Amino acid sequence: MSATPADLKFLESHEWARLESDGTVTVGISDHAQRALGDLVFVEVPDVGKALSKGAAAAVVESVKAASDVYSPVSGEVIANNDALGAAPELVNSDPYGQGWLFRIRPANQAEFDQLLNPAAYEKVVADESH
């Protein structure tokens, strides 16, 4: 199990968000989420330039078993997406907090980021779910 990096924030729906030094926000799915989904075989990321609102379906991750929506943790414009996942969706399984990132947003409102769950609160969500 990957340790949860302390600099991340989370949505209850298992997305992570990291505030970069340039003020942009990188988004992915948590280690818990990738393990629950199983081997990923297809990832659909949002186009650069797309405007997302917080909580909107932004990407799709598909495991052998099922397709799941990924929701945007913050509102803003997509400024990058992870091309590498087209050929190697399994990066989300092997490195969910690193090479398995999905897309990057220029946030419209930093307060939305601050309101996300901290790692301890997210881990509690995961623990409660498994009961």
Partner 1 sequence: MSSSTPNHRTPLFDTHVAAGARMVDFGGWDMPVNYGSQIEEHHAVRRDAGMFDVSHMLIADVTGARVRDYLRYVLANDVAKLKVPGKALYSCMLNDHGGVVDDLIVYFLNDQWFRVVVNAGTRDKDIAWLQRFAPQFGVTIRPRTELAMIAVQGPNARAKASTLLGAHAAAALQLKPFTGAELGKYFVARTGYTGEDGWEIMLPVADVAAFWTALQRAGVAQCGLGARDTLRLEAGMNLYGNDMDENVSPLESGLTWTIAFDPLERDFIGRAALDSQRAAGVPRKLVGLILEERGVLRGHQKVVAAGAGDGELTSGTFSPTLERSIGFARVPAGTGEQVQVDIRGKLLPARVVKYPFVRNGKALV
Binding site for partner 1 (CB under 8 A): 36, 38-39, 41-42, 44, 60, 62-67, 86
Least distance to partner 1 from the beta carbon of 121, Å? 25
CB of 93 to partner 1, least distance (A): 8
The DSSP element (H or E) to which 34 belongs, if any, is: helix 31-37
CB of 70 or CB of 116, closer to partner 1:
70
Three-state SS at 99:
coil
8 Å CB contact between 48 and 55: no
Tell me whether residue 57 or residue 121 sits nearer to partner 1 (CB atom). 57
Q: Which residues of 43-76 are buried (b: 16+ CB within 10 A; e: fewer)?
A: bbbbeeebebebeeebbebebeeeebebbbbbbb
Min dist CB 59 to partner 1, Å, is 11
Which is closer to partner 1, CB of 39 or CB of 114? 39
Q: How near is the Cβ of 86 to partner 1 at its closest, in Å? A: 7
Which residue(s) pair with 27 in the sheet?
17, 103
When the beta carbons of 8 and 40 are compared against partner 1, the nearer one is 40
Q: How far is residue 26's CA from residue 40's CA, in Å, rounded to a whole number? A: 20
